[in-house]
Chains A and B, each alone.
Chain A
Amino acid sequence: MSEPPVMTSMPPMPPMPVPEPVSPARQAWRMFRRNGAAMIGLALLLLVLAEAALGPALYSVSPDDMVWMPLTPPGASEYWLGTDYVGRDLLAGLIHGGRVTLIVGGSAAALTVAIGVLVGAFAGYYGGRIDNALMRVTEFFQVLPNLLLAMVVVMLFGASLVNIAIAIGAVSWTSTARLTRVEFMRLREMDYVRAERSIGASDARLIWAVILPNAAPPLIVSAALSAGTAILFEAGLAFLGLGDPNAMSWGRIIGDNRPYVLDAWWAVTFPGLAIFLAVLAISLVGDGLNDALNPRLRER
């Protein structure tokens, strides 16, 4: 043997400064900030949201009034973007329609996430018979043709904004439910969940306070993307004439002006562009969140 061990007890820890606490959310934000495309998306999204929030107050022209000659091209009048087939101001339509589109898209996405997380969390956490029953229900909704079901709902219950949002939410929650379920099944086996159980945590606490926050990253990404999908969905319904007749939305402008597309390109192009930019912004942010919230990429 060599000389005996120099010491056998723990000496004081070397005086290392304690670093600043860095929460997982802050880590994710640091990562997100470094992502150029995501930051552009975020800027664009904030712009769209600001427009929807403040635009109608700043631009007082009503989107429903006939203000000029129908089908006036952009730049030919004081109404910059021209007018639609009944002479309504297109710019006013875009500004007011943005608010409606985003509200319908946002609330439909919120509903999608709410139903999806609820179903997925219970199925994934409890497993067994509860899982089986909930997954059969999910499959039932999954095989129904989405657009058709939404159309039926709207036609049966009327084309109000609330009904449209419910219709979209009701048909698109299934993939969120499946994602949530898989995350819950994975996380419920983690030792920290077991540790919580060993200190007497209730099922409710385990589901909502322990597992859900840790399952959140992919759910946040999916929520962002489902907001984009919901906007497209709303546009699709409005295009088919199933939009709320009392609320101007981007999809409805396109739907209304569809017969005149060859004479008045602007009446469908500008709202189309608005939808495209909004969905693009959401997708970029969703992609950025996906990278920022992925622990495997974070260490780079």
Chain B
Amino acid sequence: MTVPAPSPPSASAAVPAEAPLLDVRGLEVRFPVRGGVVHAVGGVDFAIPRGQAFGLVGESGSGKTTAALACARLAEAAAGEIRLGGEDVTHISGRELRAMRRRVQIVFQDPYASLNPRERAGAIVRRPLDLMDVGPKSGRQARVEALFALVGLRPEQQALFPHQFSGGQRQRIGIARALASGPELIVCDEPVSALDVAIQAQILNLLARLKRDLGLTYLFISHDLAVVQHLCDEIAVMYLGRIVERAPKRALFARPLHPYTRALIEAAPSADRAVGRAGAPRRRAAAIQGDPPSPLDPPPGCAFAGRCPHAVDRCRTEVPALRDMGGGQAVACLRADGAGGFV
């Protein structure tokens, strides 16, 4: 493979001295809809150090995918700032934008929708090389072959069309396409949630290996806490367009501070928890009731207040800001005391 491989990043969650590769400040994304505007992302801050995987978790409608698309400049930021390696890329266009796209690539959720059905697999992987003019023309064919090998596909498969591949293989093609330009940051938008469980492991292992070997940085979107816990160094939990908690992986699971984070962790079905408690009710009752509010009609105050067991009157009127709780952990809850309790 001819992708330059920077030195392997430190795996620990400690903040390195270097400026973060991606720095997002006050990001807002809005969509016009009939009769109004949806604030899909309503002010989000996070930073990803080079070589780390940052997980954005949340349920459908939480704005995590929209936030990620904005970072890849595939959705327009209405407010805020996106910095890549210190350089403001929020509103660049033309040549600058094309140069930025070489550095930021995306792996999509549905491998059945993300590959052009009329193109051969080899052409799909080669396209970014041609469009972004990566390397000399003469070397591109060899690079496509190297990319195929890198993601575990065989060179003979280049001539096939997408419909001739399984879901897992298609996702490998999508990953090869994303790697083609030698990007630094890869946005992974639920890259395994459309795949069969047995195939998910193959793709997750591939992503972990690529991150290690190529020194990649990931912005990883998922609704599955276990997947994010497995792959990411730092995690932010989103609810209705905002980050409600952000923490290094170990801190988040050792001491979740936001009631919603706790509900997510408790609601995730777990084989380990169930086994060994044979007999009687193996699952506890759901931690929280009700459905997430509609992003079309967000409640005033904390969006989670309506479902929160700890909510007080103040929560329904005041939007909580993300507060630093030490150790890299931050929470947007008026009542969290920073030790896992509520004031």
A residues near B (Cβ < 8 Å) are 9-10, 13, 18-19, 21-24, 27, 190-192, 194-201, 205, 210, 213-214
CA distance A176 to B249 in the complex (A): 54
Cβ contact within 8 Å between B160 and A19: yes
Q: Does B108 contact A (CB under 8 A)?
A: yes
Size range of the chain B interface in the assembly: 35 or more
CA distance A205 to B69 in the complex (A): 21
Q: Given A10-B152, A10-B202, A19-B164, check contact A192 B115 (CB 8 Å).
A: yes
Cβ contact within 8 Å between A18 and B132: no
Q: C-beta contact mask, B115-150 vs A, less than 8 Å → 1, else 0?
A: 111101000000110011000000000000000000
Q: Does B212 contact A (CB under 8 A)?
A: no
For B101, B117, B157, B159, which residue has the most chain A Cβ atoms within 10 angstroms? B117
A288 to chain B, nearest CB (A): 20
Q: Does B236 contact A (CB under 8 A)?
A: no
Chain A residues, Cβ within 8 Å of B97? 200
CA distance A21 to B163 in the complex (A): 10
Q: Given A10-B152, A18-B154, A19-B164, check contact A196 B127 (CB 8 Å).
A: yes
Cβ contact within 8 Å between A190 and B120: no
Chain B residues, Cβ within 8 Å of A200? 97-98, 101-102, 128, 131-132
Chain B residues, Cβ within 8 Å of A210? 116
> Could you say which of B108, B118, B154 contacts A195, with CB atoms under 8 Å apart?
B108
Cβ contact within 8 Å between A191 and B161: no
- By Cβ-Cβ distance, the 9 closest A-B pairs, closest first, are A191-B114, A199-B128, A191-B108, A18-B156, A200-B98, A21-B159, A192-B116, A191-B113, A200-B101
Closest chain B residue to A25, Cβ basis? B118
Q: Given A24-B163, A192-B114, check contact A199 B154 (CB 8 Å).
A: no
Q: Does B261 contact A (CB under 8 A)?
A: no
B186 to chain A, nearest CB (A): 11
B93 to chain A, nearest CB (A): 11
Cβ contact within 8 Å between B108 and A24: no
Cβ contact within 8 Å between A23 and B161: yes
Q: List 26 A-B pairs, Cβ < 8 Å.
A: A9-B205, A10-B202, A13-B154, A18-B154, A18-B160, A21-B161, A22-B160, A22-B161, A24-B117, A24-B118, A27-B163, A190-B114, A191-B108, A191-B113, A194-B69, A194-B74, A194-B114, A195-B106, A195-B114, A195-B115, A195-B174, A196-B131, A198-B106, A199-B128, A201-B131, A213-B118
Q: Does B45 contact A (CB under 8 A)?
A: no
B23 to chain A, nearest CB (A): 20
Chain B residues, Cβ within 8 Å of A197? 74
Chain A residues, Cβ within 8 Å of B160? 18-19, 21-22
Chain A residues, Cβ within 8 Å of B52? none
Q: Does B62 contact A (CB under 8 A)?
A: no
CA distance A21 to B152 in the complex (A): 19
Q: Does B181 contact A (CB under 8 A)?
A: yes
Chain A residues, Cβ within 8 Å of B106? 194-195, 198
CA distance A21 to B106 in the complex (A): 27
Chain B residues, Cβ within 8 Å of A24? 117-118, 161, 163
